[in-house]
Structure 1
Amino acid sequence: MTAVQKAKTFIEEKMTGNVPEIGLILGSGLGVLAEEIESPTVIKYNEIPGFPSSTVAGHKGQLVIGTLEGKHVVAMQGRFHFYEGYDMELVTLPVRVMKAIGVEKLIVTNAAGGINENFDAGDLMLINDHINQFGTNPLIGKNDDAQGVRFPDMSEAYTRSLLNLAQEAADSEGLKVQKGTYVGTTGPSYETPAEVRMLRILGGDAVGMSTVPEVIAARHSSMDVLGISCISNMAAGILDQPLDHSEVIETTERVKKDFLSLVKTVVGKM
């Protein structure tokens, strides 16, 4: 039995409600959304066979399964990162498991540094594309044809219809949102000012240490994807101040009302 099958079997034995149709990956400081899930079943990551532990502040490290805005969902309250020492297979394992238990649509969120100088800390950015700067790819190795094709198309990594839906949801809630390209890097060190200038030249609007591997795995598994970044700080060199993870948590706390409003409205419209 594979790691995906073992985790699937364990989770399905714990589930008391309907099969989740929407998956949510909640990044640094954004796990508060999981508190909104009704009739929740909570499963700690360290209880699930094959799952590692989340070691980062702002990540509770648990799955929450239940109902949100009338839809059946499963939420990752915290994720796994490449910089924690986990390989790409482990980083993307939860995405594979979500697909295995029935999830067809994935909302992936993160806290990111703003590269685009027209952005401000506290902005929400709908991700319309990404740039992989991890130096590796979660699909390297023998392909599992049951999960997806050997060479998956990434020309629409972020599903256009969901992007449009999110924009409509923002408009209906009176929320200003940005759109842009997310750059995924390994971390855990923040980028230097020179690296930020390079990423801007490459076409990046925001930079972070997650999301890209998960989205590649999701698209490989034929899942529809919506990505949302909370611009938690401006990247190095844009403002004359040092970067600190506490600033990330402070900013996500400040904008949580808008974040909750946007994602709940999107889920309700899905």
Structure 2
Amino acid sequence: MELNYVQHIQEAAQWISDQIGRRPLQIGLVLGSGLGDLAHQVENPITIPYDRVPHFPVSTVEGHAGQFVIGELEGKSVIVMQGRFHYYEGYSMKKVVFPIYVMKQLGVQALVITNAAGGMNRSFAAGDLMLIEDHLNMTGDNPLIGLHHPELGVRFPDMSQAYTRSYRELAKSIADQMSAERGESVRVQSGVYAGITGPNYLPPAELTMLAKLGGDAIGMSTVGEVVAASHAGLKVLGMSCITDMAIGEELEPLTHEQVVAVANRTKPVFIELVKRFVGQVEV
């Protein structure tokens, strides 16, 4: 696959472009577990299941619809991933990030990437949103390992500003405005996302370790995609929906259904914040 990686990206992007017949897209959105309903807000939508796109993997996780929704959102042309691919599904990290490079080929300049995450910071609460400032890649893998493809980016990309500061500041300003309008606080935190392979939820000792290393939230996605986005020169807003508290010393049993349920309750605020961000961000 590595020898044909760029060719496959180009073929997938060309196939999608042929289906939509539109101007280059501006913003890509990757929607995590339980957060896919934002795609229903897209106007003049064209829906493309992943299994129709050449060389694409298929999403196998409950809560992930497994399709692109392409159209307009708040005056911007967008491509929405309604569901993503995960390392724990058995895909290589290069396959996990394949859609990021495809979106870049389609003209995307900015990426909004979301996930459901466990809160390791004691000041957080289930239902909070967290703007990602940085991440810990605890997967033991990296999508850039292997053959270098200069068409995709430089060999040693800088990650010092992987999560675009001005995007976080805009999102926080929007959340403050929403709080004023609602007369109640829209709880938006900031912190470090620890990305693990999954698919198991971590035991208490490992959660305690990651919190001591500086992690504020933990999940099974995002880090590889953001590495690829930095490699491709995309600006990134990363946002986690804190669906449960993952504090090692106080850990309680957790199921995927519980994660999706909390994400569903948080959706109205999440959708409103992302929509306003898309409308206001300059790309």
* Short-chain TM bin: over 0.9
Alpha-carbon separation, structure 2, partners of 1:222 and 1:124: 25
Task: From 241, 249, 270, give the equivalent of 1:259.
Answer: 270
Task: From 84, 102, 109, give the equivalent of 1:104.
Answer: 109
Letter in structure 1 aligned against 2:215? G
Letter in structure 1 aligned against 2:112? I
Name the structure 1 match of 2:49: 44
Per-residue deviation, 1:238: 5.1
Task: From 5, 8, 12, give the equivalent of 1:3.
Answer: 8
Asked whether the 8 Å contact 1:129–1:158 carries over to 2, the reply is: yes
Q: Does 1:139 align with 2:144?
A: yes
Q: Could you list the runs of 4 or more consecutive aligned residues of structure 1 that deviate by over 4 angstroms after TM superposition?
A: none
Distance 1:146 1:118, change over 3 A: same
Name the structure 2 match of 1:60: 65
Residues 194-213 of structure 1 deviation map (CA, whole Å, 9 limit, x = unaligned): 00000011000000000000
What secondary structure is seen at the aligned counterpart in 2 of 1:241? coil
TM-score, length-scaled by structure 1: 0.98
Distance 1:239 1:254, change over 3 A: farther
Letter in structure 1 aligned against 2:117? A
Higher helix share: 2
| Stretch deviating more after TM superposition (7-16 or 37-46) | 7-16
Alpha-carbon separation, structure 2, partners of 1:163 and 1:237: 28
Per-residue deviation, 1:142: 1.4
Alpha-carbon separation, structure 1, partners of 2:139 and 2:187: 30
Residues 83-140 of structure 1 deviation map (CA, whole Å, 9 limit, x = unaligned): 0000011100000000000000000000001110111111000000000000010000
Alignment of 1:77-88 (within 5 A): 77-88=82-93
Name the structure 2 match of 1:250: 261
Alpha-carbon separation, structure 2, partners of 1:24 and 1:151: 25
Alpha-carbon separation, structure 1, partners of 2:104 and 2:74: 21
Alpha-carbon separation, structure 2, partners of 1:22 and 1:104: 6
Alpha-carbon separation, structure 2, partners of 1:38 and 1:8: 21
The gaps in structure 2 that reach 5 residues or longer are 180-185
Report how many aligned residue pairs link the two structures.
Answer: 270
Alpha-carbon separation, structure 1, partners of 2:113 and 2:39: 13
Letter in structure 2 aligned against 1:230? C
Task: From 204, 208, 221, give the equivalent of 1:193.
Answer: 204
TM-score, length-scaled by structure 2: 0.94
Q: Does 1:128 align with 2:96?
A: no
Q: Does 1:71 align with 2:55?
A: no
User: Pairwise CA RMSD of aligned residues?
Assistant: 1.0
Per-residue deviation, 1:51: 0.6
Asked whether the 8 Å contact 1:191–1:236 carries over to 2, the reply is: no
Name the structure 1 match of 2:182: none
Residues 172-205 of structure 1 deviation map (CA, whole Å, 9 limit, x = unaligned): 1112200000000000011110000000110000
Identity of aligned pairs, percent? 54
Task: From 214, 217, 225, give the equivalent of 1:214.
Answer: 225
